[in-house]
Amino acid sequence: MTVRTRIDPVLDARSRRVGIGAFNVVLLEHAEAIAQGAERAGLPVVFQISQNCVEYHGGLEPVAAATLSIVRAMSVPALVHLDHADDVDLVTEAVELGMDSVMFDGSKLPYDDNVALTRRMVELCHARGVRVEAELGEIGGKDGVHAPGVRTDPDDARRFVEHTGVDWLAVAVGTSHAMTAREAAVDTDLITRIAGAAAVPLVLHGSSGLDDEMLRAAVAAGMTKINISTHLNALFTDGVRAALDAEPERVDPRRWIGSARDSVAAEVERLLRLLTLRG
């Protein structure tokens, strides 16, 4: 049995009161762009592979193996994370493949069932040195608690962490998944209260909906792991469109995907720097 004992860059970021970017791998080029951006910034980063991504690629192993290979060559701290998994077998596979952390998403379950199954996943993962993120109530945009007006209660967050032993906790404070406009706002007072109640790093899902000022405010209030996917996907898609429009006769996909990858790398670098700014 292999048990990893690497330093947790998410926990380290929390201790330094800064944020750490967590970006989704959709295609191999996303993983390459995330690595390039983090290396240029000289800052830690989290690579995320969602259950949806696994379904798209027809399995976890190919995309996880490629991402892990890229991470092993990096000079800055990096984690490979399974995101939004509600499939116990997929969590087990992620552990076996050597991924660093998983998000077990039991948020659609009744509270007691969520606690019990999350605790079981924590025991499984911790035995192999794998960190666990969980979610108390479903994140919005996917019919969950990040719908307008719904928020995580600080006392509920504290109890959930105590009862499950999770390493990181995703909470609802005003964002929503899959936002294409950066116009959302977070409740910074609530973030501060939850951060004081739950003694683990807090995770902000749906961060694509926040502008730079709001991202910094969320981190200053107590958020640590900042998940950003849709914003980068929009940049990637815009880059592909622009390249195709500029050279419609080209048939080599590297020509147009390469420019999209470069756009994402530049934005990853910028966002990582932004999330570590204080004041």
- The angle subtended at Cα 34 by Cα 32 and Cα 39, nearest 5°, is 95
Q: Give the ranges where 131-229 is alpha helix by DSSP (H).
A: 154-164, 188-197, 212-221
CA distances from 39 to 71, 121, 131, 140, 244 (A): 11, 32, 23, 32, 28
Q: What are the catalytic residues?
A: 83
Rounded to an integer, what is the distance from CA 95 to the centroid of its chain? 17
Closest CA to 79 of 21, 14, 16: 21
Q: Which residues contact 250 (CB under 8 A, 6 or more apart)?
A: 243, 244, 256
Contact status, residue 60 vs residue 93, Cβ threshold 8 Å: yes
